[in-house]
């Protein structure tokens, strides 16, 4: 049990770090997007690299913030029915939909890993005037998907515990 608690705390720490990195990426995007607008429309001298780096930053933001949002249960869902469910019924619905989550993450990790290996092997760069490496970004995609998979497994196990363990109801 001690290893389980330690690994859960480590997973939470990694996910919180990813959330902090996501905040920094948002600040980067805001500052450099405004800078690009200033260069383009005030100085009439568009940047060669800001647009490309912002695209890469937004991919990284999706990776970092996605794990953080999943951990904190911040994803948008259709609460039309779900909000009225009991805790046990919510857990049953989550277990059913977890199958799709696992399939999606499995494909994302599998294909992301293949894409990252090819990108590293080819030393892939952006096809722009300022060549920015793409392989670090392609490597982070399957790594962040692995973190989300670990979070999904933890939630799945908690949902199974909720479904199958007797709970004392107070109220």
Answer yes or no: is 171 within a domain: no
Q: Does the residue 169 lie in any domain?
A: no
Question: Does residue 170 form part of some domain?
Answer: no
Work out the average pLDDT over 154-161: 93
Q: 147 with 10: CB under 8 angstroms?
A: no
Q: Is residue 35 part of a domain?
A: yes
Q: Strand, helix or coil at 8? A: helix
- CA distance linking residue 155 with residue 135, whole number of Å: 31
Residue 45's φ and ψ, nearest 5 degrees, are -140, 85
pLDDT band of residue 111 (cuts 50, 70, 90) is very high
Query: Based on the number of CB atoms within 10 Å of its own CB, is 63 exposed (0-12), middle (13-18) or buried (19 or more)?
Result: buried
Print the domain residue range for 156: 2-164
16 belongs to a structural domain: yes
What are the beta bridge partners of residue 133? 125
| Region 117-138 average pLDDT | 91
Share of the chain above pLDDT 90, in %: 68
CA nearest neighbour of 22 among 58, 55, 51? 58
Helix (H, G, I), strand (E, B) or coil at 130: coil
Average pLDDT over residues 10-23: 94
Give the contacts of 31 (CB within 8 A, at least 6 positions apart).
none
Task: Assess whether pLDDT exceeds 90 at residue 108.
Answer: yes
Mean pLDDT within 95-105? 95
Mean of pLDDT values over 124-153: 92
Q: What is the pLDDT of residues 60-86, one digit of tens each?
A: 999 999 999 999 988 777 777 777 888
Q: Which class for 81: exposed (0-12), middle (13-18), buried (19 or more C-beta within 10 A)?
A: exposed
| pLDDT computed for residue 167 by the predictor | 63
Residue 171 has pLDDT above 50, yes or no: no
User: Could you give the CA distance from residue 57 to residue 31 in angstroms, rounded to a whole number?
Assistant: 12
Asked if the structure places residue 69 within a domain, the reply is: yes
Task: Give how many domains the chain has, as a whole number.
Answer: 1
Q: With a cut of 70, say whether residue 58 has pLDDT above it.
A: yes
């Amino acid at each position: 049990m001690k290893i389980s608690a330690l690994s859960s705390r480590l997973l939470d720490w990694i996910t919180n770090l990813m959330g902090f990195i996501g905040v920094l990426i948002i600040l980067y995007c805001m500052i450099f997007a405004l800078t690009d607008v200033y260069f383009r429309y005030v100085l009439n001298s568009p940047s060669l690299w800001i647009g490309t780096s912002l695209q890469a930053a937004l991919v990284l933001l999706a990776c970092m913030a996605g794990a953080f949002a999943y951990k904190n249960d911040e994803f948008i869902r259709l609460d039309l029915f779900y909000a009225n469910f009991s805790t046990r019924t919510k857990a049953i619905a989550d277990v059913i939909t977890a199958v799709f989550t696992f399939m999606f993450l499995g494909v994302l990790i599998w294909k992301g890993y293949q894409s990252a290996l090819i990108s590293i092997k080819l030393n892939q760069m952006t096809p722009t005037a300022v060549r920015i490496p793409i392989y670090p970004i392609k490597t982070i995609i399957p790594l962040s998907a692995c973190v989300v998979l670990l979070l999904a497994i933890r939630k799945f196990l908690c949902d199974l515990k909720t479904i199958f363990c007797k709970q004392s109801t107070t109220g």
